[in-house]
């Protein structure tokens, strides 16, 4: 039996032959009819060759408004499929304008599909929502399965983008029914592939395996040019969830080869992510440097912008490439609350907030916790169990991580020795280093800031009586904050639709800001803090002392300072939370012999 690739090539050759025959006749209507089928022979994202030129040739001699409208729509699709969405916009706008004047539902549906394809970039989401709703209205009374399928796929894509789980389920059911009614392998292919994606998202691996096999079998019976892209995407997602290293290496190699051969950045970025998951960090770093060496601002803001940037940010976070992470946070923040999909919504790649969490965490920024909470909330809402577990689980040590030996002890002359292996520096007697060392001695143990402060040299056993100089905020303000929090929680719990993502994000941001105010105003057990209280003064003093000490460490060893900022947490209570992915042997007391330092490690992850 011919392979899927051979079937696609044969179909493409037949379409081109039909067009050439029509052109030889000089009949504009025959040319239009043949040209309209040419975009169906394109593989998404690859160079379009002469397909747009042939369609434009027919468009230029179109004899009727209907033909010109449909050819303008086809030309827009051809340019987007060929990776040049900017050229598509003008033709898509013309198609919609002509279709609106004609008022024929079939033609309107074609034009709206072209407009959606041309506005598939990250900045066009609001317009995409409106266009997909118009397309659904136009296709509602059409009998053509292809146009109905297109409408359902667009509604499914936008539902995934804004994490509208109810709409996702409804459109999946609509695709199932369409496949049953039409009996066409192509419709069944779309229904099975999107069901497979949903099964992977929700963690139903048994169903996913069955649906991936069905998708592969149906794909071989059709001449869809993107069959291999769909099956490889699903197989890679399955391998990630199973932590199947052998399959991950196979898929990484396939993605890397295709991305390089066709010049598709998003596929190469996915290859970097897969190489990293396959325990090949050097290959991942090589691709990261190729794609983002000039900065992430060079990534085209097209259909795969979010996929490309998040894939690269995910790799950079694991490998601690800080300059790329800084760019990534700046570029991704405007799209918080959105899902990351590949073209056609074949696979789900998490939510933008997750990647912001990873980037901020790797950079040692305090905003990481808020992004992690938002990502976890999104995953819980849509039932993305694997993603949620991955977010909250403690990462195992990396296969390439080496335990580090790090000095953080006094030198016998009231100074400090700080650094890795033999690469140590001398620092003055900083109170913050005493606090850090005390926390490092007891991993995972909560210590109140007051107890930590009292343990510092010169303060041992000293406890100052509380003063009564006033509360941080008064009872009335605190009660108002808590009432507003209850109102916000009620609004979030009873939200009937998730389409207003911006409104939901505003509520969540307000909630986080109010929680921060309440936390700042209350101590352990919810007691209100007082400006002059011993606990509050200790909290501020310990935080400032540790921050100042880590700033001094930063001047000599930025990676060590980042590690300490990631793992040492301050507040009313403080603790050291070791990172299993970056194992460290801390030398907290002066060595008795020179040999006690052990071998010097190569680098800090």
Q: pLDDT tens digits for 66-91?
A: 999 988 998 998 888 888 888 889 99
Residues across the chain: 605
pLDDT tens for 108-137 read 999 999 999 999 889 999 999 999 999 999
473-484 average pLDDT score? 66
Sign, Cα dihedral of 181, 187, 188, 191: negative
Mean pLDDT of 193-208: 94
DSSP labels for 206-253? HHHHHHHHHHHHHHHHS--TTHHHHHHHHHHHHHHHHT-HHHHHHHHH
252-277: average pLDDT: 93
Give the tokens for residue 60: 């230029």
pLDDT digits 0-9 by tens, 235-251 = 999 999 988 999 999 99
The pLDDT tens digits of the residues spanning 524-554 come to 444 455 545 677 788 888 988 999 999 899 8
pTM: predicted TM-score of the whole model, two decimal places? 0.63
601: confidence class by pLDDT, cuts 50, 70, 90: very low
SS3 state of residue 103: coil
Residue of 179, 225, 191 lying closest to 346 (CA atoms): 191
Q: Which pLDDT tens digit goes with each residue over 360-387?
A: 988 888 888 899 999 999 999 999 988 9
Instruction: Determine the pLDDT at residue 22.
Output: 79
pLDDT at position 602: 36
Give me the pLDDT at residue 397, please.
40
Q: Is the pLDDT of residue 23 over 90?
A: no
- 388-409: pLDDT as tens digits: 888 865 344 444 445 678 999 9
Distance CA 452, CA 459 (A): 10
Copy the structure tokens of residue 262.
């066709």
Average pLDDT (417-433) is 87
| 59 close to 71: Cβ distance less than 8 angstroms | yes
Cβ(242)–Cβ(223) under 8 Å?
no
- Report residue 486's pLDDT band, with 50, 70 and 90 as the boundaries: confident
Q: Which two structure tokens, joined as six digits, stand for 385? A: 């169990």
Of 223-237, 262-276, 490-504, the poorest mean pLDDT is in 490-504
Q: How confident is residue 598, by pLDDT bands cut at 50, 70 and 90? A: very low
Report whether pLDDT(218) > 50: yes
What value does the CA radius of gyration of the chain take, rounded to a whole number of Å? 29
Closest to 275 (Cα-Cα) out of 247, 235, 242:
247
Dist CA 51 CA 493 (whole Å) = 50
Beta bridge partners of 410: 416
Strand, coil or helix: 534: helix
Q: What is the pLDDT of the chain when averaged over all its residues?
A: 83
SS3 310: helix
Answer whether 379's CB lies under 8 Å from 393's CB.
no
Closest CA to 335 of 315, 313, 361, 362: 313
pLDDT bin (cut points 50, 70, 90) of residue 475 is: low
| Measured distance CA(45)–CA(344) in Å, rounded | 11
């Amino acid at each position: 039996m011919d392979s899927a690739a051979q079937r696609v090539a044969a179909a493409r050759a037949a379409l081109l032959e039909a067009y050439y025959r029509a052109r030889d006749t000089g009949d504009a209507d025959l040319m239009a009819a043949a040209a309209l089928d040419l975009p169906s022979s394109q593989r998404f994202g690859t160079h379009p060759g002469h397909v747009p030129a042939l369609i434009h040739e027919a468009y230029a001699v179109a004899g009727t408004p209907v033909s010109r409208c449909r050819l303008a729509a086809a030309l827009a699709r051809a340019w987007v499929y060929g990776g040049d969405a900017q050229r598509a916009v003008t033709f898509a706008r013309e198609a919609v304008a002509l279709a609106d004047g004609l008022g024929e539902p079939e033609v309107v549906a074609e034009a709206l599909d072209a407009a959606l394809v041309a506005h598939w970039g990250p900045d066009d989401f609001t317009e995409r929502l409106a266009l997909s709703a118009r397309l659904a209205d136009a296709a509602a009374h059409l009998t053509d399965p292809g146009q109905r399928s297109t409408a359902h796929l667009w509604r499914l894509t936008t539902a995934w983008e804004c994490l509208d789980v109810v709409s996702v389920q409804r459109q999946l059911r609509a695709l199932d029914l369409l496949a049953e009614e039409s009996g066409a392998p192509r419709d069944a292919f779309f229904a099975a592939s999107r069901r497979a994606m949903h099964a992977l998202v929700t963690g139903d691996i048994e169903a996913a395996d069955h649906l991936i096999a069905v998708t592969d079998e149906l794909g071989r019976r059709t001449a869809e040019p993107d069959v291999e892209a769909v099956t490889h995407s699903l197989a890679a997602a399955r391998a990630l969830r199973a932590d199947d290293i052998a399959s991950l290496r196979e898929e990484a190699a396939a993605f890397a080869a295709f991305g390089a051969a066709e010049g598709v950045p998003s596929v190469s970025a996915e290859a970097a992510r897969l190489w990293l998951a396959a325990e090949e960090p050097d290959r991942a770093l090589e691709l990261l440097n190729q794609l983002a060496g000039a900065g992430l601002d060079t990534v085209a803001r097209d259909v795969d912008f979010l996929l490309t940037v998040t894939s690269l940010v995910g790799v950079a976070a694991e490998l601690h490439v800080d300059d790329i992470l800084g760019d990534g946070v700046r570029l991704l923040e405007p799209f918080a609350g959105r899902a990351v999909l590949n073209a056609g919504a074949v696979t789900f790649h998490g939510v933008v907030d997750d990647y912001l969490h990873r980037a901020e965490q790797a950079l040692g920024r305090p905003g990481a916790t808020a992004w992690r909470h938002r990502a976890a909330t999104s995953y819980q809402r849509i039932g993305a169990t694997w993603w949620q577990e991955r977010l909250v689980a403690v990462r195992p040590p990396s296969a390439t991580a080496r335990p580090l030996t790090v000095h953080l002890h006094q030198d016998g002359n009231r100074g400090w020795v700080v650094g890795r292996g033999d690469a140590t520096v001398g620092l003055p007697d900083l109170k913050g280093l005493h606090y850090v060392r005390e926390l490092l001695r007891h991993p995972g143990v909560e210590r109140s800031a007051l107890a930590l402060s009292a343990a510092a040299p010169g303060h041992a056993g000293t406890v100052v009586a509380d003063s009564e100089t006033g509360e941080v905020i008064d009872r009335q303000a605190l009660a108002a904050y808590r009432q507003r929090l209850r109102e916000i929680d009620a609004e979030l719990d009873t939200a009937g639709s998730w389409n207003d993502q911006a409104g939901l994000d505003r509520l969540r941001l307000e909630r986080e800001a109010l929680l921060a105010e309440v936390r700042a105003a209350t101590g352990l057990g919810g007691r209100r803090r007082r400006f002059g209280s011993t606990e509050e003064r200790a909290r501020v003093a310990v935080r400032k002392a540790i921050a100042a000490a880590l700033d001094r460490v930063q001047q000599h060893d930025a990676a060590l300072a980042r590690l300490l900022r990631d793992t040492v947490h301050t507040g009313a209570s403080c603790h050291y939370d070791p990172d299993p992915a970056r194992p460290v042997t801390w030398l907290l007391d002066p060595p008795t012999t020179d040999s006690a330092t052990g071998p010097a490690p190569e680098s800090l992850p």
